[in-house]
Amino acid sequence: MNKNRHIRAQRQAQVGELAYRLSGSSDLYAHNGRRPYASVNFVAAHDGFTLRDLVSYNHKNNEANAEGNRDGTEENASWNCGAEGETSDPAIRELRLRQVRNFLATLFVSQGVPMLLYGDERGRTQRGNNNAYCQDNPLTWLDWSADEEGRGLLAFVRRLAALRSAHPVLRRRRFFHGRRVHGSDVRDIVWLKPNGEEMGERDWFAHYGRSLGMLLNGQSMHEWSELGELVHDDALLVLLNAHWEPLPFALPQLDGEGWQLLIDTAQPELAERAHRAASYSVAARSLVVLSLRRSEPG
Do 93 and 162 share a domain, yes or no?
yes
How many domains does the chain divide into? 2
Do 188 and 160 share a domain, yes or no?
no
Q: Which of 139, 166, 193 marks a domain boundary?
A: 166
Answer whether residue 223 is part of any domain.
yes
Do 51 and 120 share a domain, yes or no?
yes
Q: Can you give the pLDDT at residue 25?
A: 87
Answer whether residue 216 is part of any domain.
yes
Q: What is the pLDDT along the chain (298 residues), one digit of tens a residue?
A: 343 443 344 444 588 889 999 988 888 888 888 988 899 999 999 999 999 999 999 999 999 999 999 999 999 999 999 999 999 999 999 999 999 999 999 999 999 999 999 999 999 999 999 999 999 999 999 999 889 999 999 999 999 999 999 999 999 888 887 655 444 566 789 999 999 999 998 888 887 789 999 999 988 777 777 777 788 889 999 999 999 999 999 999 888 889 999 999 999 999 999 999 999 999 999 999 999 987 655 4
Do 142 and 86 share a domain, yes or no?
yes
Do 191 and 277 share a domain, yes or no?
yes
Answer whether residue 1 is part of any domain.
no
Q: Can you give the pLDDT at residue 260?
A: 96
Q: Can you give the pLDDT at residue 1?
A: 39
Answer whether residue 83 is part of any domain.
yes
pTM score of the predicted model: 0.90
Do 97 and 46 share a domain, yes or no?
yes
Answer whether residue 258 is part of any domain.
yes
SS (H, E, C) the chain: CCHHHHHHHHHHCCHHHHHHHHCCCHHHHHHHCCCHHHCEECCCCCCCCCHHHHCCCCCCCCHHHCCCCCCCCCCCCCCCCCCCCCCCCHHHHHHHHHHHHHHHHHHHCCCCEECCCCCHHHCCCCCCCCCHHHCCCCCCCCCCCCCHHHHHHHHHHHHHHHHHHHCHHHCCCCCCCCCECCCCCCECEEEECCCCCECCHHHHCCCCCCEEEEEEEHHHCCEECCCCCEECCCEEEEEEECCCCCEEEECCCCCCCCEEEEEECCCCCCCCEEECCCEEEECCCEEEEEEECCCCCC
Q: Which of 166, 195, 217 marks a domain boundary?
A: 166
Do 196 and 137 share a domain, yes or no?
no
Domain that holds residue 82: 33-166
